[in-house]
Structure 1
Amino acid sequence: MSKRPLRVALIGSGFMGRAHAMAFAAVGRTFDLAVEPVLEIQADRDAETAAKAAAQFGFARSTGDWREAVADPAVDLVAIATPNLLHAPIALAALAAGKPVYCEKPLAATLAESQAMADAATASGLPTAVGFTYLYNPMIAVARDLISSGEIGEVTAFRGIHAEDFMASAVAPFNWRCEPEQAGGALADIGSHIIAMARHLLGEIAEVSGTLHTAHPMRRTPDGVERVVRVDDQMDALVRFANGATGTLSASWIATGRKMGLGFEVSGTKGSIVFSQERFNELQLYRAGPGINNGFTTIMAGPGHGAYGGFCPAPGHQIGYNDLKTIEVKAVIDAVLGDSSNAKDFADALRVEQAADAIRTSHREARWVALA
């Protein structure tokens, strides 16, 4: 018996567009879904780019105008993997057309646009989801369960970081990530991931005190034009959570040697948890107790850990980044079908943007800033 099709329009075919396309192609083969995802339309900045991507990724059709894809009556879900500046107009148009929306992070280029997207989603009643991919790791689900169950006691501290080095060199060229109008800067670009992780594990952030640092105030464009950099290379913040815990958040794209240094340590009165995305099939758990030989235990991901079993029947064999994206897409499809328990929606992403904006305000005004 054939399943009902869920026809997808994907806007954008770069790094994240490719990840979306691969995930939509794999999700029905990995998990038992109630619908069959169909790669219907690939849209991009021009017809030639869109047609090339459609042929590569397996889309039935293509267009050089995202508006055509959003308005197409055959489309059931719009996935946005464009530059940040286009997130808001595409999402708002899709919601107005009655289409659920799956958008990459950060939610939008400005807090006002993020608020407008969240408001439109609420008013429409349509499902939405945002691409905080690292939250869908089965090991993060283990960490969250350990915290919520009281396994490590009362949480006292969170230390989180997202560190990479793709802008560490002074000769790394000026690009869209260097423009505040494009939601550039380490805080917006990768800081959103560690903020989202902190909220996912510990709950709402109540107050922040942050500072932003620009290590390379001038960069050259690929054609040699020197430009002023008006965004941060690194963010560091003290945070207070609504549950009483305190901690630190850091985001840096100038952390020489770090390729995917998203990590955290959660301390509690009975134990602690340590995680690094660079070894994301593992979780370190410490249980406090008497004795002189206490130490961290390594929990290896295996088929008993949530979605891992959809990819591999054996523990310790590991899943990869694109598998996390596939798990995320399953959560998106579940949300479209009425189960929004796993997907992070526009309201969640708005809270991340509000925390980031509070950090910017704190840096600018040199004070603690409370979140509403």
Structure 2
Amino acid sequence: MAKELNVGLIGYGFMGRTHSNAYCKVNHFFDLPYKPVLKVICGLEDKEAKSFADQWGYESHTTDWKSVIADDNIDLVDICVPNNVHAEIAIAAAKAGKAIICEKPLALNGEQAKTMVDAVEKAGVANLVSFNYRRVPAVTLAKQLIDEGRLGRIFHYRANFLQDWTISTDVPQGGMATWRLDVKAAGSGVTGDLLAHCADTAMWHNGPIDTVCAMTETFVKERMHVETGKKEKVGIDDACTFMCRFDNGSLGNFESSRYARGHKALYTFEINGEKASIAWDLHDLHRLSYFDHADESIVRGWRSIHVTDGDMPYMDKWWVPGLQIGYEHTFVHQIADFLEGYAEGKPVSPTFKDALATQYLCDAVLKSAANQTWEKVQKP
């Protein structure tokens, strides 16, 4: 019988829902040594926290995250709050000996992220950062194909993540709904929010990035701040484009924007190697496009692999071949992998240290854009 692992979730927004859903579902589909128990949900507003607890089945609720850390019954602290409070909560949880899952990006910047890495390593606690796209079965399959050498030497990696929800000048900054537009809460704009996903996946697939050259733009210079009721300067980047060189010599191009009219969440990547190429699109997330130059010329071309068979990553846990899964399942996979690693005392990627590499990359991108120079990416 699976042992119980008591969860304290801090934050009841969008990510709080995805994580809660994963805890509720994971043991129904994966045979695991641990079963998450939803002990306490913590949020800013008591009424909202109670409503969330009732809806998702948490045993209790609170507005004091420090009480979650101090509770000896809590084994795992899950951090789903704005970026500016990740560090304080995570460091306190580590000192208390709690396992930690933290939403991305890890922190406001690399310097702050490093203190979090130091804390979890000193405490020796299990830790994971929620870069969930790694666990889309098609994206995991791409990693498998690369590691098997099917692409050969990698020449190019290109990715983008496009949205359009901040085009209106009436969208405010700050507050619970739009904290991502407040530089004090978010640290950066699309670089830390969207490109961090692209960069994490890219470095997982293709190794570390050595140097970057970037440009950013803030299209709306002032927005009303929810907390002050006044128009204030916008400090985040609305769009970012950067090119880079990976340690293995391959070249990368990355673009992200919240001003790409018509795109709600267009995340794509394409990888070109000497033998083959692969491409993926979040809008068709259960498919992986694949081109193999070794195919006979008369049938050579891009093929669409429907990632639903039982011998493909994670898919043996779900339905019959031909029936795909979706976005929410990436979080289920994440929790399943974390619980397996927790039981075995083994780290599960991306760890805080893995996420520190992404944080250093984001720092280099923003520095490059500000200075209009090529910048070296610091290594963890």
What is the TM-score normalised by the length of structure 1? 0.95
2:259 aligned residue (254, 257, 269): 254
Alignment check: 8 A CA contact 1:186 1:234 kept: yes
Counterpart of 1:178? Answer: 181
Take 2:121 and 2:190, find their aligned partners in 1: how far apart are those partners?
29
Counterpart of 1:135? Answer: 134
Counterpart of 2:375? Answer: 369
Amino acid at match of 1:214: T
Give the drift of 1:341: 5.7
Counterpart of 1:45? Answer: 44
Counterpart of 2:196? Answer: 192
Take 1:172 and 1:340, find their aligned partners in 2: how far apart are those partners?
44
2:245 aligned residue (218, 240, 249): 240
Take 2:48 and 2:315, find their aligned partners in 1: how far apart are those partners?
34
Take 2:204 and 2:271, find their aligned partners in 1: how far apart are those partners?
12
Give the drift of 1:169: 3.0
Q: Structure 2: which 5+ residue stretches go unaligned? A: none
Residue 196 of structure 2 aligns to a residue whose secondary structure is helix
Structure 1 runs of 4+ aligned residues shifted over 6 Å read none
1:276 aligned residue (281, 303, 321): 281
Measured against aligned partners, the alpha-carbon deviations of 1:105-145 in whole angstroms (never above 9, x if no partner) come to 01012322211001111111111000101111111121111
Counterpart of 2:100? Answer: 101
Amino acid at match of 1:186: V
Take 1:194 and 1:297, find their aligned partners in 2: how far apart are those partners?
23
Alignment check: 8 A CA contact 2:135 2:334 kept: yes
Take 2:89 and 2:348, find their aligned partners in 1: how far apart are those partners?
23
Residue 256 of structure 1 aligns to a residue whose secondary structure is coil
Take 2:206 and 2:87, find their aligned partners in 1: how far apart are those partners?
28
Residue 314 of structure 2 aligns to a residue whose secondary structure is helix
Find out whether 1:305 has 2:312 as its counterpart.
yes
1:338 aligned residue (333, 344, 357): 344
Alignment check: 8 A CA contact 1:169 1:254 kept: no
Alignment check: 8 A CA contact 1:155 1:268 kept: yes
Residue 295 of structure 1 aligns to a residue whose secondary structure is coil
Of the structure 1 ranges 41-50 and 128-137, higher mean CA displacement relative to structure 2 is found in 41-50
What is the TM-score normalised by the length of structure 2? 0.93
Give the share of equivalent positions with the same residue, in percent.
31
Give the drift of 1:172: 2.7
Take 2:143 and 2:34, find their aligned partners in 1: how far apart are those partners?
29
Q: CA RMSD in A?
A: 1.6
Alignment check: 8 A CA contact 1:283 1:299 kept: yes
1:287 aligned residue (292, 299, 317): 292
Report how many residues are paired: 370
Alignment check: 8 A CA contact 2:126 2:347 kept: no
Give the drift of 1:205: 0.7
Take 1:272 and 1:369, find their aligned partners in 2: how far apart are those partners?
28
Residue 207 of structure 1 aligns to a residue whose secondary structure is strand
